[in-house]
Structure 1
Amino acid sequence: MDILEQIIATKRIEVAHQKEAIPLRTLLAMGNDRLDRNSPSMRKALAASPSGIIAEFKRKSPSKGWLHPDAEITDILPLYEQGGAAACSILTDKVYFGGSLNDLQKARKQVDIPLLRKDFIIDPYQIYQAKIMGADAILLIAACLTTDECRELAQTAHSLGLEVLLEIHSSEELKYLNQHIDLLGVNNRNLGSFHTDINNSFRLIEEIKQYLGDKATSPLLVAESGISQTNAVKALRATGFQGFLIGETFMKTGNPGLTLSNFIQELL
């Protein structure tokens, strides 16, 4: 069993326990006043941003261990927004990444820029959680789902006014694209081995363009993981990427917000 398979097995148990503790009907009743909240568009924010950076809040990873164990949303998110982030990604997985839904809820109170719930989403229940806790977009990972599951989950997200970032690692996963996908992310990290190679984005870009063709509703392209240099962002942007999800580069430092601000100043 590789790392991703372990994570998904754990996630299925976790979601089952959450649904048992707070059934969907109860969850919806508790968050009824938040279901109609208008969510800012992450796609539009990235397209309009000079940096296109989605700054991630992440305390640890399965491969690197703890990056910033004492990190607090209230200390970092406002500085991410002030530093020029176009959007923020909030990891809500507890076991492997040290996050929580409470982090997402806190983040919503701290910033006005779009928030992505980054987790291993396998059940519609998690999408309702995301909306109620303040997310504006969700991540769907092709490697975790069937194409039918991906379509159904993306449709559920759209029904709640949430945008969808579909994450792929190979050209074979382009078949997961459907009419409900707003952003297409290329993960430079193999989720089975957690090996990272930023060249994965450069390898896939031409195949993605050929696959998308001249579709008027093509998703905005996002490069994810392993980005640590401004030159890499510039090179990726030149090929067609408009979003850049960066976490460890910022979170492994003592002051992630300042690191982001300096990164963007150098980038621009």
Structure 2
Amino acid sequence: MLSELLAGAIADAEERRLNRTFADVEAAALDRPAALDALAALAPADRVKIIAEIKRASPSRGALADIVDPAALAASYEAGGASAISVLTEGRRFLGTLDDLEQVRAAATIPVLRKDFIGTPYQVLEARAAGADLVLLIVAALDQPTLLSLHDLIRELGMTALVETHSGDEVNRALDIGASLVGVNARNLSTFTLDPDLFGSLADRIPSGVVRVAESAVKTAADVAHYRSAGADVVLVGEALVTSDPIRTLSEFLAV
């Protein structure tokens, strides 16, 4: 599944490149105002922080929410206390677009993450051109030289990489490239099964000074508390927010 998603995302980017050249998207990326400081926004604090996700669908659950106005949902997330907003821009299985990201960036004053299956410099430049402050890099999807080069490009553009891991070896690979924001995704991206205890088993491998993000398997405040007690600085939440009253749900999650 992960290989299929990555290949599809890269193919779609290459299709866009036919109408918007590398030079054009690079110029647009460099013309953007400076990215927001995502590390400051997500820095460890006395209470857990939330990255709230805009997500219409997923391969495991199918359609979740129509989300006809991503900007309005982003405004609700910010009003509810989210520290950053994740926007799924993958179109084939998650039904997202880069236009969603641009709308959210125009509406929000907090950092915005491009969550997609990133494998090329063109996609990183697209993210900055659309206003992203953060870009997701999935360790399992990339060889180490590619992971390093994309991470370096993200930094050069003033953004922050959220480097996603699923095992101890992947955490080590993330740390080897100097990742300052490391996520542990409870969802296996090959089988899409969930392991809510995976974060807790890997958290101690992530040193102080690196922000720890727990991803997936969050339905209730108890799930957030479970991650917080295991050492999460930040929890990324999608489905639970798009299928509920986001402000009320955020209030419950941030109270743990």
The answer to whether TM tops 0.5 is: yes
| Candidates 28, 40, 44, aligned match of 2:40 | 44
Q: Which residue of structure 1 aligns with residue 246 of structure 2? A: 256
Partners of 1:137 and 1:165 within 8 A in 2: yes
| Candidates 190, 199, 221, aligned match of 2:197 | 199
TM-superposition CA deviations, 1:131-180 (whole Å, max 9, x none)? 11111111100111001100000000000000011000111212322344
Partners of 2:6 and 2:118 within 8 A in 1: no
Partner-residue secondary structure (3-state), 2:109: coil
Residues 237 and 261 (structure 1), Cα distance of their counterparts in 2 relative to 1, 3 Å cut: closer
Shift of 1:99: 0.7
Equivalent pairs, count: 254
Judge which range, 128-137 or 43-52, deviates more. Answer: 43-52
TM-superposition CA deviations, 1:51-71 (whole Å, max 9, x none)? 310000100001100100244
Residues 9 and 257 (structure 1), Cα distance of their counterparts in 2 relative to 1, 3 Å cut: same
Partner-residue secondary structure (3-state), 1:39: coil
TM-score when scaled to structure 2?
A: 0.92
1:245 counterpart letter in structure 2: L
Shift of 1:229: 2.4
Instruction: Please list, as runs of the form range in 1=range in 2, the aligned pairs for 1:151-166 lying within 5 A after superposition.
Output: 151-166=148-163
Partners of 1:164 and 1:180 within 8 A in 2: no
Backbone CA RMSD of aligned residues: 1.8
Partners of 1:142 and 1:173 within 8 A in 2: yes
Residues 31 and 5 (structure 1), Cα distance of their counterparts in 2 relative to 1, 3 Å cut: closer
Structure 1 distance, partners of 2:213, 2:200, is 12
Partners of 2:221 and 2:252 within 8 A in 1: no
Residue 124 in 1 paired to residue 124 in 2? no
Instruction: Please list, as runs of the form range in 1=range in 2, the aligned pairs for 1:62-73 lying within 5 A after superposition.
Output: 62-73=59-70
Structure 2 distance, partners of 1:248, 1:144, is 23
Structure 2 distance, partners of 1:203, 1:51, is 19
Partners of 2:113 and 2:135 within 8 A in 1: yes
**Structure 1 segments unaligned to the other structure (5+ residues):** none
Percent sequence identity is 34
Partner-residue secondary structure (3-state), 2:17: helix
Q: Which residue of structure 1 aligns with residue 108 of structure 2? A: 111
2:249 counterpart letter in structure 1: T
1:81 counterpart letter in structure 2: E
Partner-residue secondary structure (3-state), 1:140: strand
Residues 87 and 44 (structure 1), Cα distance of their counterparts in 2 relative to 1, 3 Å cut: same
**Structure 2 segments unaligned to the other structure (5+ residues):** none
Structure 2 distance, partners of 1:51, 1:80, is 15
TM-superposition CA deviations, 1:14-67 (whole Å, max 9, x none)? 122122221111223345431xx2222222212265331000010000110010
Judge which range, 12-21 or 161-170, deviates more. Answer: 12-21
Q: Which residue of structure 1 aligns with residue 19 of structure 2? A: 21
| Candidates 236, 243, 248, aligned match of 1:245 | 236
Residues 83 and 70 (structure 1), Cα distance of their counterparts in 2 relative to 1, 3 Å cut: closer
Partner-residue secondary structure (3-state), 1:165: strand
Q: Which residue of structure 2 aligns with residue 226 of structure 1? A: 217
1:172 counterpart letter in structure 2: D
TM-superposition CA deviations, 1:189-247 (whole Å, max 9, x none)? 000111112111112223x14xx4xxx7x421100001122233233223321010000
Partner-residue secondary structure (3-state), 1:47: coil
Structure 2 distance, partners of 1:15, 1:86, is 29
Structure 1 distance, partners of 2:60, 2:101, is 23
Partner-residue secondary structure (3-state), 1:21: coil
Partners of 1:77 and 1:257 within 8 A in 2: no
